[in-house]
Structures are given as structure tokens and as C-alpha cells.
Amino acid sequence: MSALSQKHLTGLKNLQKSDIELIFQTADNFKDVLQRPIKKVPSLRDITIANLFFEDSTRTRMSFELAEKRLSADTINFSASGSSVKKGETLLDTVRNILAMKVDMIVMRHYSSGAANFIAQNVNVNVVNAGDGTHEHPTQGLLDGFSVREKFGDLKGLNYLIIGDIKHSRVAGSDIPLMLKMGAKVKVCGPPTLVPKFIEELGVTYEPNLRKALEWCDVANVLRIQLERMDIKFIPSLREYSLFYGVNKELLDSIPKKITIMHPGPINRGIELTSDAADSKQSIILQQVENGVAIRMAVLYLLGGRN
């Protein structure tokens, strides 16, 4: 079995291109497995994985759980709500106590940026970041890249646009390094207050005008406004945001080429994306979700292969 060059997957910024290619090739194989009547392989039999969710999730949590079951791993699930975190237990104590039950890998979502790296530095099992604050969401970045590769055959030379709240987005934090490493060009579009000041230093361009940005791109990844991560107001109102930066079918139909529409979910329908655009033939949103299982199987399998 090949393995990743690193023990943990906490982000894509420092992941090698060869690791990304290996994950994609492994996910191709698992996608075939998931089409079979028996969708299960014994690859991680005898491995126990703890899914630690300190923040809400639908897609990522269920996708990891399903990926683990498809690989025959044993799983235990933790939610901060209803746990002893409410009684003041620290993050590290919580993790160390769960590891004392002989757990082999951790999948963790946390509201604090850097939480996954902190845990990875303090435990001796594999850590997979399932989203940490506004930092990174590496398996989302991988499934986004995999879905675009599936649609276009290659990421090299593609024009990839990210629209919306870039500043608070861990999806942008993972999509940008992945797309650039794989040879795509990346542009961001949104109100200047929601775009990090030094974004162009990452090798990304900024276009404030939505129509111009859409005319440039092959693929547009539409992001949600992350009100829960804003302690001050960055936009005057959601209604105004929607008028200037909302993507709808009428706008898409007025662009000469058929742009592929993506969204990591959850969608706030009618704000950043209307239903007629989200549910149109141009959208690959549910393919992204489907591909998430194969990508997470690949990541868990390849990290497990290091042990």
C-alpha cells in the first residue's frame, strides 16, 4: 500500500502535489467500490476511529462516518454538546481521555483555527482535520478538486472562481492551495470587506464585479456568508449582498459559456445562490457530496497505511 508523506491531514497548504494525486487516484478506486452492490472493503478492519465534533456538521460528519464504515473501521462519535466539555474539560484532556480507550485515528472538527494542528502536535495517532475555525477544511478542498477533475478531466489551466465570504471561509483556505498546486488559476469575488487584505500574495486575483468574474471562470464555487464567525458587521445587509453577489439562473444564462456551479453546503437558498441555479444542470453540488465519501475513504486508508 502507498501512503501519504505526512502522518496527519490538518491542511492542504503544506500537502505535496504528489500526495493530492495519490489521494485522487485512491478515491477513483473507492468510487468504483461504492458503485458495487457490496460497498464495503476490509482495509481498516481492527482500526478504531473517533469522530470528534466540537461544531455542527451534516455532510462532513456523515461522510466520514460512512467512509469509515465502508472501510470496516470501528467508530466512536463525540459531540461537544452533551459532553464533559460543558463541565470545563479542556480540548487536550478530552482527546487524551478518548485516546486512552485505544483509539487509532482522530477526525476532528473544531470552531478554533489551529485546533487540529495543536492536537496533532500533542498525540501519537493520525489526526484528520474536518474543519477548524476559519483556517482549513482539507477534505472539502480535496473533494472539490476531485469533483472538478471528474468533470473536466484535469485541473491544469482551468479558471476557478470562489465567490462570497472568503475572509471567514476554511473552504477557501483549502481550495486555494489545492487548485494552485494542481495548475488551475484562482480568482476570488466578493465585497472587499469579505476578502483578506493580502489575498493576491497567495497567487490569487481579486475581481469585485460578479459578472466580470463569472465571464472569466470555468467553475464558480459559491460560498455562504458565515454570520456565525463575524463579531462585527462586514456587509450592510444580506439583502444588499444578495443583490450584488447572489448567483441566480438569469445571471448564469446571460453569460456566454456554461459555468459549472459548486457549493460546499449548507446553502442559504436565495442569499448567495438561488434554487434555480443550485438545482440546475450546471450545478455539481450533489456530486461534491457523493465524492466526499470516496475522498474520505482515500484519506483514512492512506493515513492508516502509514501505521
Contact 190, 245 (CB under 8 A): yes
**What number of other Cβ atoms are within 10 A of residue 202's Cβ?**
16
Nearest distance from C-beta of residue 11 to ligand CP, angstroms: 15
Tell me how far, at minimum, the Cβ of 216 lies from ligand CP, in Å. Answer: 25
Residues 194-223 that bind ligand CP (CB under 6 A): none
Residue from 26, 51, 60, 291 binding ligand CP (CB under 6 A):
60
d(CA 232, CA 245): 20
Report whether 150 contacts 286 (CB < 8 A): no
- Residue pair 137/171 in contact (Cβ under 8 Å)? The answer is yes
Q: What DSSP line would sit under 251-284, residue for residue? A: HHHTSSS--EEE--S---BTTTB-HHHHTSTTB-
Binding positions for ligand CP, 65-104, rule CB under 6 A: none
Helix (H, G, I), strand (E, B) or coil at 109: strand
3-state secondary structure of 146: helix
Size of the site for ligand CP (CB under 6 A): 11
Among 58, 84, 193, 209, binds ligand CP (CB under 6 A): 58
CB of 267 to ligand CP, least distance (A): 10
Does residue number 228 form part of the binding site for ligand CP (CB under 6 A)? no
- Contact track, ligand CP, 132-161, x by CB under 6 A: -----x--x---------------------
8-state DSSP, 5: S
Of positions 7, 13, 59, 151, contacts ligand CP by CB under 6 A: 59
Q: Which residues 267-296 are close enough to bind ligand CP by CB under 6 A?
A: none
Closest to ligand CP by CB, 20 or 267: 267
Q: Is the CB of 228 or the CB of 240 nearer to ligand CP?
A: 228
State residue 230 phi and psi, 5-degree precision: -110, 120
User: Under 8 Å CB-to-CB from 94, ≥6 apart: which residues?
Assistant: 52, 78, 83, 84, 85
> Which of 52, 125, 131, 242 lies at the binding interface for ligand CP (CB under 6 A)?
131
Site string for ligand CP, 250-269 (x = CB under 6 A): --------------xxx---
Which residues in this chain contact ligand CP in the complex, by CB under 6 A? 57-61, 131, 137, 140, 264-266
